[in-house]
Amino acid sequence: MQLYSFFNSSTSYRVRIALAIKGIDVDYFGVDLRAGAHREQSFKAQNPAGGVPMLIDNQGNALGQSLAIMDYLECLHPEPSLFPAEPLLRARVLELANLVACDMHPLNNLRVRNYLANELALSDEQQQSWIRHWTAEGLSAAETLLNRYGFGDYCFGDSPTLADCCLVPQVANGIRTNCDLTPYPRVMAVYHHCQQQPAFQQAAPARQPDYQ
Ligand SMILES: N[C@@H](CCC(=O)N[C@@H](CS)C(=O)NCC(=O)O)C(=O)O
């Protein structure tokens, strides 16, 4: 399989964590978002949404959207699973994963930040305020959910799930953009625990071939 990824892309990072947890090897192709490689016609022909990650499976099928890719990997390689078996706990995992993937990430995505800067001419300070606001909204909700329903060293238990795959890269974004993360001790405890685990280390931005 081939993974099209950008080292600093949090959605790519999610998939890299899932691949590492499952021990799946892929051929890695760096897509330089800063140079706009994801907007080129050749790339969009395979992934019309024009973003990373994109997976190409062993039959040559191209698949975009990190959650769809992780679900596909789960079906192809069920063990170790990224989902608890118990239905409500599985729903909790998806609740947290979707909080990150649907409510947080899109608001601070590159194309949105470019629009704020170029079309709306927001100052650097205003852009930073935007990022901090939406990061705080999302992580506050994550902190409450984890305090209410989380347990163990990971988000939900003693093994990693889709929730950890999504949360860790989003926290890394928060660190990279200098957000205050002190109000989220439970989120940060999960983050720091994951940082000690080989699968998460292997998936880290600095360990990718296109890291610069
Ligand atoms: N919902 C998509 C988002 C994909 C996406 O937009 N990824 C970002 C990188 S984290 C990207 O490629 N951004 C390029 C842009 O916004 O122009 C997913 O989960 O895969």
Is residue 51 within 6 Å of ligand 1 at its C-beta? yes
Cα 152 to ligand 1 centre (Å): 30
Cα 4 to ligand 1 centre (Å): 12
pLDDT band at 139 (very low <50, low <70, confident <90, very high): very high
**Nearest Cα residue to atom 4 of ligand 1:** 51
Residue 64's pLDDT is what? 98
**Nearest Cα residue to atom 20 of ligand 1:** 65
Ramachandran angles phi, psi of 60, nearest 5°: 90, 10
Cβ distance 46 to 38 under 8 Å? Answer: no
pLDDT tens-digit readout, 125-137:
999 999 999 999 9
* Residue 31 sits in the same domain as residue 92: no
Assess if residue 209 is contained within a domain.
Answer: no
* Residue 30 sits in the same domain as residue 91: no
Tell me the H-state helices in the chain. 10-22, 41-46, 66-76, 87-98, 110-118, 124-149, 162-176, 185-195, 198-203
Kind of pairing between the strands at 54-56 and 2-5? antiparallel
Residues in the chain: 212
* Residue 117 sits in the same domain as residue 174: yes
Is residue 170 within 6 Å of ligand 1 at its C-beta? no
pLDDT tens-digit readout, 21-50:
999 999 999 999 999 999 999 999 999 999
Cβ distance 3 to 206 under 8 Å? Answer: no
pLDDT tens-digit readout, 45-100:
999 999 999 999 999 999 999 999 999 999 999 999 999 999 999 999 999 999 99
Is residue 11 within 6 Å of ligand 1 at its C-beta? yes
What average pLDDT does this structure show over 91-120?
98
The pair of three-digit structure tokens given for residue 99, joined into one six-digit string: 């909080």
* Residue 182 sits in the same domain as residue 99: yes
Cβ neighbours of 86 (radius 10 Å): 10
* Residue 192 sits in the same domain as residue 92: yes
- Residue at which a domain ends, from 80, 101, 135: 80
Q: Output the average pLDDT for the chain.
A: 98
Residue 119's pLDDT is what? 98
One-letter amino acid at 189 equals A
User: In terms of Cα–Cα distance, which of 45, 41, 48, 9 is closest to 28?
Assistant: 9
Is residue 5 within 6 Å of ligand 1 at its C-beta? no
Residue 166's pLDDT is what? 99
- Residue at which a domain ends, from 52, 80, 108: 80
Q: Which of 32, 52, 208 to mutate to test the pocket of ligand 1 (most atoms within 8 A of CB)?
A: 52
pLDDT tens-digit readout, 153-178:
999 999 999 999 999 999 999 999 99
* Residue 135 sits in the same domain as residue 94: yes
Ligand 1 atom nearest the C-alpha of 14 is 19
Structural domain including 33 reads: 2-80
* Residue 58 sits in the same domain as residue 92: no
27 forms beta bridges with 2
What average pLDDT does this structure show over 6-22?
98
Number of compact structural domains in the chain: 2
Ramachandran angles phi, psi of 39, nearest 5°: -95, 0
- Residue at which a domain ends, from 80, 95, 129: 80
* Residue 91 sits in the same domain as residue 63: no
Ligand 1 atom nearest the C-alpha of 51 is 12
Residue 159's pLDDT is what? 98
Cα 18 to ligand 1 centre (Å): 17
Is residue 100 within 6 Å of ligand 1 at its C-beta? no
* Residue 133 sits in the same domain as residue 181: yes
pLDDT band at 200 (very low <50, low <70, confident <90, very high): very high
pLDDT band at 8 (very low <50, low <70, confident <90, very high): very high
* Residue 193 sits in the same domain as residue 143: yes
* Residue 126 sits in the same domain as residue 195: yes
| Cα of 49 vs its chain's centroid, Å | 16
Residue 67's pLDDT is what? 98
